[in-house]
Chain A
Amino acid sequence: MVDASVNAMAGPRGSKPQRRFSSRNLMLYGTLIVVSLYYILPLWVMVMTSLKGMPEVRLGNIFGPPLEVTFQPWVKAWSEACTGLNCDGLSRGFWNSVQITVPSVILSIIVASVNGYALINWRFKGSEVFFTILIFGSFIPYQVMLYPMVVMLREMGIYGTLTGLVIVHTIFGMPILTLLFRNYFASIPEELFKAARVDGAGFWGIYFNIMLPMSLPIFVVALILQITGIWNDFLFGVVFISKADNYPMTVQLNNIVNSVQGVKEYNVNMAATMLTGLVPLIIYFISGKLFVRGIAAGAVKG
């Protein structure tokens, strides 16, 4: 899939070029523009709603731009929105998500890259069997493994903590990442590895001196994949975090929006929703084509 996605970056090969204003082109661009509207609409509505005051929201024109722009909803969503008696807004969830995402991403990428390296260059008896189980395991619904996981973390004394959640993310991110690194390392010429072996370099020496420097692009892809995936997680946050204080941003967002005191403040809700989506969106827009490679790589294919 990685190779195929590289192809996706190659030029289009469809049919021959067309004259500019042919009816075919009108149809083509017309369809693409209509489709694009469907994709853009929710983002537009979210942003517009979040910039209106409540009286204007109640007018009911969700598509219209705000008559009077206010950033109050964003301020409120970030620092004042309440869950229970705690009214410090989504900022708490944001920092929790940072504390969850950063170590999870680092740990999972280290573990998976070493896995991939061992699987390609240091095969041992049974290594392929373990790898196959790992890949098949990625299709098992998480629900099947949730409770035993709770028991395991409880026995380790880290249930409900951020550490516990980091381990959970590392475990469940392993199949895709391992596959990603394994396929990438497979494309590095074996002669390099053999030459290093002759020079007497060992497992870690080759990993740090040869493999790591050669595979920066795939680390970036893995980084994008993991940051987005872990930031967006909801289920693990609900199950494995037990203190409302420690909830990741997605969980806190759902709590703020779907349980209300008094009147629903749609503008604040939308600002909160945008805030939660901001991190993956920024990653997406700055990473551009690498993101496409990342998700295409995430599409498990041996």
Chain B
Amino acid sequence: MATSSRGARVFRNLNAKIAAIPMIFTAVVVFAGFSVWTVVYSFTNSKLLPKANFVGLDQYERLWSNSRWLISIQNLMIYGALALVFTIVIGFVLAVLMDQKIRFEDTFRTIMLYPFALSFIVTGLAWQWILNPQLGIQNVIREMGWTSFTFDPLNNPDLVLYGLLIAGLWQGTGFVMCIMLAGLRGIDEDIWKATRVDGIGTWKTYIVVIIPMMRPVFITTLVLVAAGIIKLYDLVIAQTSGGPGNASQVPAMYVYSYMFQAQNLAQGFAASTMMLLTVLIVLIPWAYLEFGGKKNG
């Protein structure tokens, strides 16, 4: 009796279950299983091929004493902080400007958003060319008579991150502007009427009333942009290849280089595990805010 009812339960919705096999496989085997596998093998001394020869925290000790890794992390933090702040501020300000009943709104949006359709490789190569010291912007301004003008971020270890930032913002801010604009348009017209009745100025309304109301949009944008930054790879490869020196190295490049070039898989696994940890640090508080709160309310 018990078995037959269980059997019936398994076969109920059978088509749906069969159809969901790819999803179940992806969720359980790829996303969960592969991640666990990588974490587990980061505690081994696998070289060219994975071997279950456990060595404790050796890979992590080495990772955190490796100066290329430390530079990568530092770069990611500086680039990440700047990119987050600038994308969100620029994205929001542009969205507000676009929301002023302007003419040619579609044209402006088309212009601001098209870079988002381009790959990071294309973005990186385009900006590498524009920032070329011999023939790019620096040269154009020097030719205009200002001969001492220097703007060569891609060859200056102290400025290279800003060179990447210019390209990264170019590619991504239009997208954030669109999300923000959608958020602004989602706000009830009555709010505006009310603030006008109260005599609150436009800019003050944005800062005091609108921004707090758009908190969920900001948080979503924050998480999206942050998740994108941690994956930062293509742009650096195309624009600077990590140079000059190690000045624009990022963690994703370290992972690739140790996994596939140095024939030291476990070191690559340890580095990618640290990337995973970083994501969790961003993600868990967000998930708690998003979903944890709903249960209570």
Q: Do chains A and B touch in the complex (CB under 8 A)?
A: yes
- When A41-B130, A122-B15 are in contact, do A174 and B125 touch as well, CB less than 8 Å? no
8 Å CB contact of B135 from A58, A125, A276: A58
The yes or no answer to A246 lying at the interface (CB within 8 A) is no
Question: In whole angstroms, what is the CA distance A254 to B231 when docked?
Answer: 18
Q: How far is the CB of A224 from chain B (nearest CB, A)?
A: 9
Judged by a CB distance under 8 angstroms, whether B122 is at the interface is yes
Of the candidates A115, A258, A273, the one whose C-beta lies within 8 Å of that of B19 is A115
Bound-state CA distance A29–B101 (Å) is 11
B183 in contact with A14 (CB, 8 Å): no
Residues 273-299 of chain A, each 1 if its beta carbon lies under 8 Å from chain B, else 0: 100110011011100100110011001
Residue numbers in A under 8 Å from B251 (CB-CB): 143
Query: What 0/1 pattern do residues 238 to 255 of B give for CB contact below 8 A with A?
Result: 100100000000011001
Residues of chain A in range 141-178 having any CB-CB distance to chain B below 8 Å? 141-149, 151-152, 170-171, 174, 178
Asked if B35 and A234 make an inter-chain contact with CB atoms under 8 angstroms apart, the answer reads: no
Nearest Cβ distance between residue A56 and chain B, in whole angstroms? 11
Bound CA–CA A123/B16 (angstroms):
8
Q: Contact string, B124-137, partner A, CB cutoff 8 A, digits 1/0?
A: 01110110101111
Interface size class of chain A, counting residues whose CB lies under 8 Å from the partner chain? 35 or more
A1, B290: Cα distance in complex, Å: 14
Summarize B's interface: helix, strand, loop or mixed.
helix
* B82 contacts partner chain A, Cβ-Cβ < 8 Å: no
B276 touches A140 (CB 8 A): yes
Q: Quick check: A115 and B114 within 8 Å, CB to CB?
A: no
Instruction: Count chain A CB atoms within 10 A of each CB in B129, B134, B259, B271 and give the residue with the most.
Output: B129
Query: How would residues 1 to 43 of chain A score, 1 for a CB under 8 Å from any chain B CB and 0 otherwise?
Result: 1001101101011111110000000001101100110111111
The answer for the CA separation of A114 and B17 in the assembled complex, in Å, is 11
| B92 contacts the other chain (CB 8 A) | no
B99/A13 in contact, CB under 8 A: yes
Per the bound structure, the CA–CA distance linking A111 and B26 in Å amounts to 11
Point out the residue from A45, A122, A140, A171 that lies within 8 Å of B279, measured CB to CB.
A140
Residue from A131, A281, A299 within 8 A of B117 (CB atoms): A281
The answer to whether A144 and B19 have CB atoms under 8 Å apart is no
Knowing A151-B50, A295-B175, the reply to whether A62 touches B135 (Cβ < 8 A) is: yes
| Whole-angstrom CA separation of A273 from B121 in the bound complex | 8
Contact A62 B111 (CB under 8 A): no
> Are A144 and B35 closer than 8 Å at their CB atoms?
yes
Q: When A42-B126, A58-B135, A174-B23 are in contact, do A118 and B102 touch as well, CB less than 8 Å?
A: no
> Could you say which of A46, A62, A204, A232 contacts B120, with CB atoms under 8 Å apart?
A232
Tell yes or no: A134 within 8 A of B by CB. yes
The answer to whether B99 and A291 have CB atoms under 8 Å apart is no
The answer to whether B111 and A36 touch across the interface, beta carbons within 8 angstroms, is: yes
Q: Are A124 and B16 in contact (CB under 8 A)?
A: yes
With an 8 Å Cβ cutoff, the count of chain B residues facing the other chain is 109
* Bound Cα distance from A60 to B94, whole angstroms: 33
Contact at A28–B102, with CB atoms within 8 Å? yes
Most buried by A among B31, B110, B283: B31
* Chain B residues, CB < 8 A from A118: 16, 19-20, 23
Q: Are B116 and A115 in contact (CB under 8 A)?
A: no
User: A26: shortest Cβ distance to chain B, in Å?
Assistant: 12
A139 contacts B121, CB within 8 Å? no
* Nearest-neighbor residue (CB-CB) of B181 within chain A: A8
Q: Beyond A130-B20, A141-B231, A295-B116, is A42–B143 a contact (Cβ under 8 Å)?
A: no
**Interface membership of A198, Cβ < 8 A:** no
A65 sits at the interface (CB 8 A): no
Given A60-B139, A136-B287, A254-B238, 7 additional A-B pairs, CB 8 A = A7-B185, A32-B98, A60-B143, A61-B140, A124-B13, A234-B121, A283-B117
4 A-B pairs with least C-beta separation: A137-B31, A232-B119, A122-B16, A203-B15
Residues of A within 8 A of B (CB): 1, 4-5, 7-8, 10, 12-18, 28-29, 31-32, 35-36, 38-43, 45-46, 49, 57-58, 60-63, 111, 114-115, 117-119, 122-125, 127, 130-131, 133-134, 136-137, 139-149, 151-152, 170-171, 174, 178, 202-204, 228, 231-235, 238-239, 250, 253-254, 257-258, 266, 269-270, 273, 276-277, 280-281, 283-285, 288, 291-292, 295-296, 299-302
Can you report 26 residue pairs joining A to B where beta carbons are below 8 Å apart? Answer: A5-B178, A14-B101, A18-B101, A60-B135, A60-B143, A61-B143, A62-B139, A115-B22, A124-B17, A134-B27, A136-B31, A137-B27, A141-B279, A143-B271, A144-B276, A147-B38, A147-B268, A250-B121, A253-B125, A254-B237, A276-B121, A277-B117, A285-B110, A292-B178, A295-B175, A296-B179
